[in-house]
Structure 1
Amino acid sequence: MYPSSENERKRNEVCFVLKNITNNIKNCANLTNVSPRTVLRVKKRLKSGQSIKRKPGSGQSPTLNSTDRRRLGRIVQNCPVLSNEQIANRLSELGAAKVSSFTIGRELKKLKIQRFKPRYKPFLSASHINRRIEFCKENSARDWSKVVFSDEASFQLNSNSCLLLGKTRPTYQRSKYCQKIMVWGCISARGHSALKICRRSIDSKEYIETIKNFLVGTMDALS
């Protein structure tokens, strides 16, 4: 099926051929590369004096209107575990037209809604909750401008933690020892430090040197 602008161009081309070259339906269809039925339809409109342009509002009306699409979004938000068939039944109960599960799938795709496997997050235990409450009580009067938080992260080329799609477990080639760097930094209520980049694995001695050179210097600069 051609898009609307392409359909209009084809109709104009058929109209030109019928008026100026040949009035034969089969020959016109061969010259314009359209179906004989389309040529016949255009010819009938020309003969009756009608316009060959697309009638406004003609064609199949949308299955779901804007109100139904908003309802669809709310249904998915309130209950994200429903299947497409169950969503279609819910919409029908709310007054929407009866649609198939395939239509629901297309509408969800238009709304950029996908199905994901959720990430699991464990609940806090009673011990965790009590320890956090105690920490808040003990540090409620602390001067946080004198506290510095530090952390580090590692980045590796060709990391083996990536997920690959396939019907079977795929394999890919990579170096046995990939390039890896570690980035260290610290922040406080007064600002942050420059990043310390280590291009190899560090031991305890180098980590202590990093703390001395960067952490102490940052505390002095932010004080």
Structure 2
Amino acid sequence: MGKDKDLSPRKISEIKTLLLHTGHSQRKIASIANVSRASVDRIKKKLDTNVDLTPKRAKNCGRKKITTPRDERKIRDICVENRKAPRKILTKKVQDAGINISLATVRRRMKDLGFICRRPAKKPLLTQAMMSKRLQWAKEHQNWTAEDWNKVCFSDESSVQILSDKAVFVRRRKGEKFKEDCIIKRVKHPFSIMVWSIISSKGTGRLYIVEGTMRQDQYIKVLETKMLPQVQEWFPNGEFTFMHDSAPCHKAKKVTKFLNAQKVKVLDWPGNSPDLNPIENLWELMKREISRELINAN
């Protein structure tokens, strides 16, 4: 029979209940709980003095680590140098470095070191010229005030994919792989639609469904029937700045001529920079909600 520090929380709770509610002697309680009388006595003294009964885990208990601090630093360096490598390859590299541990141990050490497997964040692929233009654009607008940005109307198109199995997970047990509620129905070529919208500090505009691929004539129709009425509602005095990116249909001469004729002030925009456009957050929320609805429907 061990000391009370070796007793499980459940056993300590049992002894506590017997002490408080049965009126049995300590000898009797020790017999019932199958512990030493000394353990019962120590727990009673702690109860009498309101001492915490939670057992303290000994510092040196449990199996000793087979890796040294130096090994763990090496594992850390290998993880940093091979962030996208599968665990099996990481384990091989660790073993090649003279650290003879298993894949399971590598996984535990990675967790101890704070490495968690996550999908990589997505960023646009930028050339050096694009980077320079983005920096120049940032410098040109670094002194804009909140009032300046509040007058900007941000627009964009986005493709929404329906019946996609991307980023869907299912919890299943062995033998349930093909259960109806553990599968997701997919099509060879997922259906997608293109949409356009606009946002500003005044709110969100209506969603416009693009028919086929957005061409310059269709885009002018969108600007004329969707964009202009919306921004005129938001800014009756006409003091606004319109933002669209450098997509071919946006920069077509015919489109530029239309915007000039309407006296629309257009915000210069660096190429391949969707991450600068706040409407991307709206698209993300919309797609997440659509994905949730489709998962529930399945």
Q: Normalization by structure 1: what TM-score?
A: 0.46
Whose Rg is larger?
1
Question: Per chain length, whose mean CA-contact separation is higher, i.e. which structure has more relative contact order (CA < 8 Å, sep 6+)?
Answer: 2
